[in-house]
Amino acid sequence: MRFNRREFMQCALAAGVSMGAGSMLGACAGVRRLDLPQQPEALRANPALDESRREILYHAALAPSGHNSQPWRVRIESTDEWIVEADPERRLQAVDPDNRELMLSLGAFAENLSLAAGAVGYDAKIQVVAKEYFDRDVIRVSLRTDHPNPYPLGRITRRMTARPGYRSDEIRAADIEALRAAADGRLFYFPKSSPHADRIRDGVVECSRIQSLRDAAQRELVSWLRLSDRDALEHRDGLTAEGMDIQGFKGWIVRHFIEPENFMKTTFRQKGIDQTARLAAQGGGWLVITSSGRTVADLIEAGRLFERMALLTRERGIGLHPTTQILEEKHGIDLFASHHGSRVIPQFVIRVGYLDKYPEPVSLRRPVEWFAPYQQFTHMS
């Protein structure tokens, strides 16, 4: 990627400032979500999607997903009948071979969709149609006109995974109760001072080490890196430098000089392990969200409950960092089974802590027409 001496000097100056004051010049910033239009002019508009329906799908797609893979596709059967599909091209086969996390992400997508539909004057009926984890068609969405529900859509647009900067004070009881109620009672909090929290922290670090040294998992991570601005603009998914909290001068260096393949090197892997250990030591403890069973419908519901809970955290100054490796690696799965047996089915393990300053979301999203393209259908309702 091209750069010039003036850009280098601007960013070098920004790096000096950032080390002392935590700020940086705009010249060093990478591509962020708010920098991009929702609908690139080059795209063909889908005639089945008016402004309100596009708004619903735009907000649905702000759901979280592993590696920001955005594993959803929407088939428009009619203006008010949609099928949410699992996109096989966006599977994480190395770390999510059973599609468990993919289904959780589609659950979060469905929750955002339902909330956004209510806010713009529709009732969205969400019906899980998949029976197996690898079914293509997962959710049927039926819209009908309804009175608008004044849900603040800013909760969806500003939700994000915050990683550094967690305070060490434990989460207040009133906040835990609010989050537990949003998760329908399936949320459990382990304060930092508890033995359970110590075991989870150690398990997260060890599973990160195991996964980082597993070539298939690390190569899959590398395939979702969008380090250069060009790659970020082309794909609008995956992990950018900004999304990984590599900012300021360091972020500029990564975007201009580092290739994704470098992350296969031992030194880069060790830096990732060390970073996980530093972050795992921060915060006020851990949240675990469970499911009542292991069916597709159970996973979709767990994803919805997670998103419903996560949407409340910014206004309470609480950061959330899902740590997926502990439920992806056998060591972590065995750790939970050894303490809780088969009666507890964990679906999310989340580091939690108060933030003095909540950052703004930077992870990219594909435009609606990329995952809900124009299709001819035989009737329109």
- Least confident piece of the model among 30-44, 176-190, 322-336: 30-44
Residue 350 has a pLDDT of: 98
Phi, psi dihedrals of residue 239, rounded to the nearest 5°: -110, 110
Residue 24 has a pLDDT of: 38
Q: What residues form DSSP beta bridges with 349?
A: 288
Q: Is 305's pLDDT higher than 50?
A: yes
Question: Taking the model in full, what pTM does it have?
Answer: 0.91
Quick: pLDDT tens for 112-155: 999 999 999 999 999 999 999 999 999 999 999 988 888 999 99
Looking at the chain, the whole-number percentage of residues with pLDDT higher than 70 is 89
Nearest to 377 by CA among 61, 60, 74: 74
Q: Is 61's pLDDT higher than 90?
A: yes
Give the whole-angstrom CA distance, residue 158 versus residue 314. Answer: 8
Write the DSSP assignment of 323-365 as a string of letters.
-GGGGTSHHHHHHHHHHHGGG--EEEEEEEEEBSSPPPP----
Instruction: Enumerate domains of the chain plus CATH numbers.
Output: 35-158 (3.40.109.10), 173-354 (3.40.109)
Q: Is 1's pLDDT higher than 60?
A: no
Distance, CA of 237 to chain centre: 11
At 380, the pLDDT band (50, 70, 90 cuts) reads very low
Give the whole-angstrom CA distance, residue 287 versus residue 22. Answer: 29
Q: Is 347's pLDDT higher than 50?
A: yes
Quick: pLDDT tens for 66-104: 999 999 999 999 999 999 999 999 999 999 999 999 999
At 35, the pLDDT band (50, 70, 90 cuts) reads confident
